[in-house]
């Protein structure tokens, strides 16, 4: 009787090989499509002026006549004659409509539009955007928007004046509310070549990108122009098929090289550090001095049966404390050198400071030359 192959063992071996391949693959390798933009393939912004109707008394009033005048002009175009002196509208609002048309969008494609009030309307809740022409930078009409508004909040007000509001009700969206009427041609092949723009400019990444494309298409196919662009020549077999070229190289894995950077947001106290941040051995002394000024007025009462007057005498108490992270008196802390982000985080956590204080410490470390990273303040 012939022996059957051990399929379970074969399947386990294949699974192990796949797992090893996934583990050994460079974790920092990105696909070309995720790290590059094709020069000539871009979005275009559209803007238009329109009117929202159907509001529940929350539209523009007489002090903002834009909506009333626009509605009057619209009614006249539709053949309805209206006396302007009789217009007393609070259910319409003048709005600006914005949208972005993606590359290769064909006529009839749907776009999402954003609607924002330009008058003194209290809320756009329940409104409907009337037909609005959307213009490009060249003042040509590329889309037309219309539809019901979707608002991510609410605004309620009681008869006594009490009100509650969540999020902004003067900005809304119309999902798929615009139709593309004119196509914008996108030309990304120039002189038989395609230019790829790196989203994060880096000389090493540009060189690695060119090497990977040469391995896929042949030597001499790609040439880095600078740290942010790589020019790719179309092979002779793909001269008339640039889409095939982009589909072939879009999934190439490129090992990226990123700059060491620390981003500090002073407003929110947020600190984000990249994986290449390194810290040299350094000693730090940091402590906060808190000064408290307390006013405690005292009453000066004259003795009995005297001619004195009772007066309020101000009394000011000023105290200060040195609030270091390890006690009232902060000693100098020595930080070991750190070569990974985890080591840097553990070293800085030893200081026991708040994120806002840590931002100042990081800037001082950069000035001292101990922090090998770029500091970006927001």
For 4-49, what is each residue's pLDDT tens digit?
444 444 344 434 443 434 433 444 678 898 999 999 999 999 999 9
Q: For residue 58, what are the CA distances in angstroms to 52, 95, 122, 157? A: 11, 13, 5, 11
Mean pLDDT of 194-217: 91
Best CA proximity match to 35, nearest among 273, 275, 274, 253: 253
What pLDDT, on the 0 to 100 scale, is given for residue 134?
96
pLDDT recorded at residue 107: 94
pLDDT at 165: 65
DSSP class of residue 108 equals T
Separation CA 270–CA 358 (nearest Å): 10
Residue 317 in this model has a pLDDT that exceeds 90: no
Reading across the β-sheet that carries 270-273, which strands appear in turn? Answer: 270-273, 261-265, 374-377
Residues 261-312 pLDDT 10s: 888 887 777 888 876 788 777 777 766 555 455 656 777 777 776 777 777 7
pLDDT tens figures, 64-113: 888 888 888 888 888 888 877 777 778 899 999 999 999 999 999 999 99
Q: Provide the pLDDT for residue 271.
A: 82
373 pLDDT tier (thresholds 50, 70, 90): confident
pLDDT greater at residue 182 or residue 268:
182
Q: What pLDDT score was predicted for residue 114?
A: 95
**Spatial separation of the C-alpha atoms in residues 109 and 291, rounded to whole Å:** 63
Average pLDDT over the chain, rounded to an integer: 79
- Whether 212 contacts 253, CB under 8 Å: yes
In this prediction, residue 296 carries a pLDDT of 67
Tokens of 186: 């996108």
| Cut 0.75: pTM above it | no
- Asked whether residue 195 carries a pLDDT value surpassing 70, the answer given is yes
The larger pLDDT score, comparing residue 173 to residue 344, is at 173
Q: What is the pLDDT confidence band of residue 214, given thresholds at 50, 70 and 90?
A: very high
Residue range 342-363: average pLDDT? 74
Of 28-37, 60-69, 212-221, 336-345, the one with minimum mean pLDDT is 336-345
d(C-alpha 185, C-alpha 357), whole Å: 52
Q: Which of 55, 102, 49, 91 is nearest to 73 (CA)?
A: 49
Of residues 248 and 275, the one with the higher pLDDT is 248
CB 70 within 8 A of CB 64: no
**Range name among 43-47, 167-171, 195-199 with the lowest pLDDT average:** 167-171
| Number of other residues whose CB lies within 10 A of the CB of residue 232 | 22
Structure token pair of residue 197 = 């723009």
Q: Which residues lie below 8 Å from residue 320, measured CB to CB, with a gap of 6+?
A: 289, 290, 291, 292
Whole-number pLDDT of residue 258:
76
Among 143-147, 190-194, 313-317, 359-363, name the most confident range.
Answer: 143-147
Among candidate residues 51, 145, 146, the one with its CA nearest the CA of residue 93: 51
Confidence of residue 356 (pLDDT cuts 50, 70, 90): confident
């Amino acid at each position: 009787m012939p022996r059957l192959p051990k399929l379970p063992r074969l399947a386990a071996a294949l699974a192990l090989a796949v797992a090893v391949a996934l583990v050994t693959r460079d974790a920092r390798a990105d696909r070309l499509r995720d790290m590059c933009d094709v020069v000539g393939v871009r979005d275009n912004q559209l803007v238009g002026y329109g009117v929202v109707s159907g509001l529940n008394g929350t539209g523009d009033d007489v002090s903002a006549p834009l909506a009333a005048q626009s509605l009057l002009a619209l009614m006249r175009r539709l053949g309805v004659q209206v006396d302007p002196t009789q217009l007393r509208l609070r259910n319409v609002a003048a709005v600006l409509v914005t949208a972005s048309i993606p590359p290769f969008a064909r006529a009839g494609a749907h776009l999402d539009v954003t609607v924002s009030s330009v008058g003194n309307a209290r809320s756009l809740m329940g409104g409907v955007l009337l037909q609005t022409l959307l213009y490009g930078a060249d003042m040509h009409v590329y889309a037309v928007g219309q539809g019901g508004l979707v608002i991510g909040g609410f605004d309620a007000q009681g008869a006594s004046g009490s009100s509650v509001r969540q999020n902004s009700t003067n900005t809304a969206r119309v999902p798929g509310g615009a139709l593309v009427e004119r196509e914008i041609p996108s030309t990304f092949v120039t002189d038989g070549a395609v230019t790829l723009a790196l989203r994060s400019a880096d000389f090493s990444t540009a060189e690695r990108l060119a090497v990977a494309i040469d391995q896929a298409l042949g030597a001499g196919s790609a040439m880095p122009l600078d740290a942010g662009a790589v020019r790719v020549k179309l092979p002779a077999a793909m001269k008339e098929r640039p889409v095939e070229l982009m589909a072939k190289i879009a999934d190439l894995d490129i090992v990226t090289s990123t700059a060491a950077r620390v981003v500090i947001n002073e407003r929110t106290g947020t600190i984000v550090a990249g994986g290449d941040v390194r810290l040299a051995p350094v000693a730090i002394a940091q402590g906060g001095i808190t000064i408290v000024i307390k006013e405690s007025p005292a009453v000066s009462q004259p003795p009995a049966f005297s001619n004195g007057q009772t007066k309020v005498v101000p009394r000011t108490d000023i105290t200060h404390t040195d609030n270091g992270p390890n006690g009232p008196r902060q000693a100098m802390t020595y930080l070991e050198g750190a070569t990974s982000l985890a080591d840097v985080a553990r070293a800085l956590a030893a200081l026991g400071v708040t994120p806002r204080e840590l931002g100042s410490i990081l800037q001082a470390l950069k000035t001292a030359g101990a922090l090998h990273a770029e500091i970006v303040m927001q």
